Amino acid sequence: MKKQFKTESKKLLDMMINSIYTHKEIFLRELISNASDAIDKLYYRSLTEGGVGLARGDYEIRLTPDKSARTLTIRDNGCGMTREELESDLGTIAKSGSFDFKKDGEQKPDIDIIGQFGVGFYSAFMVSERITVVSRAYGSDEAWKWESSGVDGYTVEPGELSSHGTEITLLLRPDTDDEKYSEFLEDYRIRSLVKRYSDYIRYPIRMMVSHSKRVEGSPDDKPEYEDVFEDETLNRMTPIWKQDPKEVSEEDYASFYEEKFHDYEAPLKVIRQKTEGISDYTALLFIPANAPYNYYTRDYEKGLQLYSSGVMIMEKCKELLPDYFSFVKGLVDSSDLSLNISREMLQHDRQLKAIARALENKIKDELLKMQENERDKYKTFFKAFGTQLKYGLYADYGMHKNVLSDLVMFDSSESDESVTLKEYVSRMKDGQKKIYYAAGESREQVKLLPQVEAVTGKGFEVLYLLEDVDEFALMMLHEYEGHEFANVTNDELDIATDEEKESLKLENEKSKDLFDFMKEAIGEGVSAVRFTGSLTGHPACISSEGAVSVGMEKTLGRMPGAESGVKAEKVLEINKDHPIAGKLKMLFIEDKDRLKKYSKVLYANARMISGLTIENPAEIAELITELMV
């Protein structure tokens, strides 16, 4: 009886079958990689439980092309699959749910899909008309045969296999003008694919290869040749991290990374670390060029693969990476770890903690180097993972600032490129004590904030905080190299001279009654009204006082579950040199009713510029019309 694939698998299958993906050849590395994983599982069992009765040298992955049948067979003697596993592992894609991100009708190149998920087994449908999988689980004496020609479903029935493991037979599609699938039956092609993608696989990948050989004794003037078959091991088998670094090219690392960690882009950076001494380990780490589709969700799991002397003991060891470096992929191979180590033991393992600390330092150093020497790369990196670093600054009460404060970057008034805090401090003006910043939704909006214009107009640099997390991160950081952070819309800036401050104070005291009246007129929205001397062109602006800035109010208000409880204490600041200042003073004496209306409109105006909504738009609109008429 034919069974149906789960819906998502069907979509994926359909995509594979109709794929225009140019690297169809990756199907081979996917199948070899599955075979190797299956052997790993059994090998691990033999080491920890014993009784498997196979030595390391007994494991192999065998490729058999058959031109007359037009089939390519991949056979392993790993753990195999039970009937149930055949159904559950090959009937559904492993990472179901991952499809949500691609909305119906949205056109994305095939490459995205193929790279983003370990589509693994299914990629074989790119080249096959029919796939037959016969598998026998280790320890079982029955084999099962799974077969499918694509989207219309699959069958499972009893099969035959001489020993445990899995045999996958691909019936290749017919050749077309554009696609020559029969290539995958040629020795040279298979050999080169294995070399390219699977050289490091730690079990031998073997194939019977035919050679033309002169028949012994055939006459010299009329030599005769015959085809002889020889068993050839196609891969080098040394894991890439154990090979001499001088012999491993960038491309080797990249294809290892892409295959192992299911990425479609080469890594931005490869980090290799080998230590001997107190703890003995080799680490091979990768910094991806893009964030996985689920990176900023709960589903994302950080961790490095953990090997003990070349045998993988854990797929994702999260103890090896801090959260703020959770984007790092890779592996650690140590000869000091026991094979039987359990999760709980790992958490307390001193050795592991020491490795984690060393890796953290190494990652930080490499990122700093990239920031300094390869800024374009660093920008790509920061675009993908910068937000995570900023969360890291904020997390745990700012405990990780030593690691992170030099890695984060912000937009700035000085440059179209993001800048580091170090760069900001290096060009601070004489006498400037604080690091100025302003928060908002976009460069354009922040740039036009009255207070920002005022500060940049005097020649100071202002950092533009455009992400929700930014201001919170700086708050935790508190200061950088002895310079406090000052929000130009919130804090005292030390820009005005003492005389200027004194005269402003007098001016404000004189107008106290006017301000009280205006505050009353505006209502709950403001906690004070006053003059300011720091605006250049604008008539008025909103500043805030206290711990919560306007930017933070906006961020907190957006958070799920926030009942917009947290509000900034807002101050309406009026440009003392703007004609409106005189007008207000005059109205206070001559026309209080009109002053009331002016106050409301001025306040609404200032809110608008700050990117805040107007709470009473109908009333304001009416007032404006009234004043216009």
- Applying CB under 6 A, the residues found at the interface with ligand ADP are 30, 34-35, 38, 76, 78-81, 89-90, 94, 118, 120-122, 166
Minimum distance, C-beta of residue 75 to ligand ADP, in the bound complex (Å): 9
Minimum distance, C-beta of residue 197 to ligand ADP, in the bound complex (Å): 14
Q: Closer to ligand ADP at the Cβ: 161 or 455?
A: 161
Q: Closer to ligand ADP at the Cβ: 117 or 460?
A: 117
Q: Closer to ligand ADP at the Cβ: 37 or 545?
A: 37
Q: Closer to ligand ADP at the Cβ: 95 or 196?
A: 95
Q: Closer to ligand ADP at the Cβ: 163 or 212?
A: 163
Say which residues have a Cβ less than 8 Å from residue 115's Cβ, sequence separation at least 6: 258, 262, 263, 264, 265
Minimum distance, C-beta of residue 145 to ligand ADP, in the bound complex (Å): 14
Q: Rounded CA gap, 603 and 614, in Å?
A: 9
Minimum distance, C-beta of residue 29 to ligand ADP, in the bound complex (Å): 11
The answer to whether 525 and 474 have CB atoms below 8 angstroms apart is no
Amino acid identity at 421: L
Minimum distance, C-beta of residue 85 to ligand ADP, in the bound complex (Å): 7
Minimum distance, C-beta of residue 90 to ligand ADP, in the bound complex (Å): 6
- State the maximum Cα–Cα separation within the chain, in Å, rounded to a whole number: 126
Q: Closer to ligand ADP at the Cβ: 61 or 529?
A: 61
Minimum distance, C-beta of residue 118 to ligand ADP, in the bound complex (Å): 3
Q: Closer to ligand ADP at the Cβ: 64 or 275?
A: 64
Q: Dump strand ranges (E) for 190-336.
A: 205-214, 225-233, 269-275, 281-287, 304-308, 311-317, 329-334
Minimum distance, C-beta of residue 113 to ligand ADP, in the bound complex (Å): 13
Give the closest residue to 486 by CA, choosing from 396, 424, 423, 426.
424
Q: Closer to ligand ADP at the Cβ: 94 or 237?
A: 94
Q: Rounded CA gap, 419 and 442, in Å?
A: 16
Give the closest residue to 341 by CA, choosing from 321, 310, 358, 317.
317
Minimum distance, C-beta of residue 47 to ligand ADP, in the bound complex (Å): 18
Q: Rounded CA gap, 595 and 584, in Å?
A: 7
Q: CA dihedral defined by 79, 81, 85, 90, rounded to 10 degrees? A: 110
Q: Closer to ligand ADP at the Cβ: 34 or 380?
A: 34
The answer to whether 148 and 155 have CB atoms below 8 angstroms apart is yes
Q: Closer to ligand ADP at the Cβ: 90 or 438?
A: 90
Q: Rounded CA gap, 284 and 332, in Å?
A: 7
Q: Rounded CA gap, 238 and 218, in Å?
A: 41
Q: Rounded CA gap, 364 and 371, in Å?
A: 10
Q: Closer to ligand ADP at the Cβ: 35 or 170?
A: 35
- CA distances (Å), origin 336, targets 49, 293, 332, 340: 20, 35, 11, 12
Minimum distance, C-beta of residue 168 to ligand ADP, in the bound complex (Å): 7
Give the closest residue to 580 by CA, choosing from 529, 615, 616.
529
Helices and strands: H and E segment counts in the chain = 20, 22
Minimum distance, C-beta of residue 53 to ligand ADP, in the bound complex (Å): 19
Mode of pairing for the β-strands spanning 409-412 and 462-465 = antiparallel
Minimum distance, C-beta of residue 467 to ligand ADP, in the bound complex (Å): 33
Q: Rounded CA gap, 264 and 252, in Å?
A: 14
Q: Closest residue to ligand ADP, Cβ-based? A: 120
Q: Closer to ligand ADP at the Cβ: 90 or 352?
A: 90
- CA distances (Å), origin 292, targets 113, 300, 326, 330: 11, 8, 11, 15
